[in-house]
Amino acid sequence: MAYDGKILRRAVQRFEEDRKDRQDRFQARRESVFRRQPRLREIDGELRATVSRLISTALRRGTDPRPAVEALKRQNLGLQEERRLLLEQLGLPADCLEETPACPLCGDTGWREGRMCRCLRAYCAREQQKELSRMLDLGNQSFETFSLAWYSEAGSPELGISPRENMDWIYRTCRRYAAGFGPGSGSLLLTGDPGLGKTFLSAAVAREVSGDGWSVVYDTAVHIFDRFEARKFGREAGEEIEADVERVLDCDLLILDDLGTEMTTPFVQSALYSIVNGRILGRRATILSTNLKLDELARRYTAQTVSRIEGEYQILPFFGEDIRKLKKERG
């Protein structure tokens, strides 16, 4: 699960802000308790001093430190008991002056055994959801809110299946894909006329896959190819554009929307092949969404690119009436 640098930086910043906020609130509680019972502040200082004396006594050379260590231990236990009784008199739990981490697995560091802890991954997932929500309506576009009622039950003589039956199959395919997402999940091609639910289902997949902690990038073909061109021809320079290109190539799931709306040039054809082929070789999943049919894709892009798509992608053909128009007509 490789989150891109922008998402990770934001997540770490929020993580550190929340950790500092917890520490500040804990210190404020401690100070409040100390003001109520000043002896507790003295005990706290004495316990800290006892720990350092224990360490120095244990390291002392030339003498047997065990008697001194035992005496310090008894002193330490006596102080702890006095603290417990004073806190009990205040109606407070015995551990109220001890700071406990919000995450017991990593101790609020965000990392465990050299890997990102699940607590920091949750921050990354939230930041990624915010990023996706800038382009997708994740609040309303989900598998739970998807409705087959907008698709006709009338069968097509040419296709032998109704739009509703077809969309039921596509819906179930996308839902299984999102629920079982992982390395080697494969890629999808969503193809069909505008207004048939391609973006809706793409958003539903993005929402679920992102919520499970995988890195997801959703963007339009126009914007993605623009960033690739800017880097290639030096229109822009710096870390930001490099990061934009890297996140397209390295994310766990890339959703490239509106393929075919960009001006198709030899560079765009080459860039699309690099994205498609590179992500296949890296076993990284991609969802391509386009209004073009397969034969139109073959005419617009290279035969090599379309061959890779046909050979490696599961193709989901959308057909039916434009739902946006139907909703407008029905008010």
Task: Using the predicted structure, report yes or no on whether residue 238 has a pLDDT greater than 90.
Answer: no
Same domain for 105 and 161? no
Cβ contact 260:222 at 8 Å: no
Task: Using the predicted structure, report yes or no on whether residue 135 has a pLDDT greater than 70.
Answer: no
The helix (H) or strand (E) run that includes residue 220 is strand 216-220
**Helix (H, G, I), strand (E, B), or coil: what is residue 1?**
coil
Cβ contact 159:289 at 8 Å: no
Which tokens hold the place of 128?
Answer: 């990624």
Q: What's the pLDDT at 274?
A: 92
**Domain membership flag for residue 149:** yes
Average the pLDDT over each of 20-24, 73-77, 312-316 and give the range with the smallest value. Answer: 73-77
Same domain for 156 and 44? no
Same domain for 187 and 237? yes
220's CB contacts (< 8 A; 6+ apart) are 256, 257, 258, 261
**Domain membership flag for residue 73:** yes
Beta strands in 44-192 (DSSP E): 111-112, 115-116, 187-191
What is d(CA 139, CA 270) in angstroms, rounded to the nearest whole number? Answer: 36
Domain that holds residue 48: 5-111
Q: What's the pLDDT at 80?
A: 87
Give residue 183's pLDDT band: very low, low, confident or very high (50, 70, 90): confident
**Domain membership flag for residue 117:** no
| Span 275-293, pLDDT tens digits | 999 999 999 999 999 999 8
How does DSSP classify residue 108?
A: T
| Span 48-65, pLDDT tens digits | 877 666 666 656 655 666
Same domain for 78 and 149? no
**Domain membership flag for residue 121:** no
Task: Using the predicted structure, report yes or no on whether residue 35 has a pLDDT greater than 90.
Answer: yes
Same domain for 151 and 295? yes
Which tokens hold the place of 196?
Answer: 């048939």
Same domain for 181 and 313? yes
Which of the pair, 78 or 188, is modelled with greater confidence?
Answer: 188
Task: Using the predicted structure, report yes or no on whether residue 1 has a pLDDT greater than 60.
Answer: no
Question: Which residue's structure tokens are 């198709």?
Answer: 264
How many domains, in total, are found in the chain? 2
Other C-beta atoms closer than 10 Å to the C-beta of 33 total 17
Q: What's the pLDDT at 239?
A: 66
Same domain for 311 and 210? yes
Average pLDDT over every residue of 306-330: 87
Q: What are the angstrom distances between the C-alpha of 308 and each of 67, 86, 299, 303? A: 76, 73, 15, 9
Same domain for 286 and 183? yes
Same domain for 193 and 280? yes
**Domain membership flag for residue 58:** yes
Last residue of a domain, one of 111, 127, 160: 111
Average pLDDT over every residue of 102-131: 86
Q: What's the pLDDT at 165?
A: 93
Same domain for 150 and 105? no
Q: What's the pLDDT at 181?
A: 93
**Domain membership flag for residue 66:** yes
Partnered with residue 288 across adjacent β-strands are 189, 256
Task: Using the predicted structure, report yes or no on whether residue 213 has a pLDDT greater than 70.
Answer: yes
**Domain membership flag for residue 128:** no
**Domain membership flag for residue 88:** yes
Average pLDDT over every residue of 222-247: 77
What is d(CA 26, CA 28) in angstroms, rounded to the nearest whole number? Answer: 5
Same domain for 154 and 43? no
Give residue 6's pLDDT band: very low, low, confident or very high (50, 70, 90): confident
Same domain for 187 and 106? no
Helices (DSSP H) in 155-265: which residue ranges?
A: 163-179, 198-211, 221-232, 239-250
User: Tell me, what CATH number does 285's domain have?
Assistant: 3.40.50.300
Give residue 235's pLDDT band: very low, low, confident or very high (50, 70, 90): low
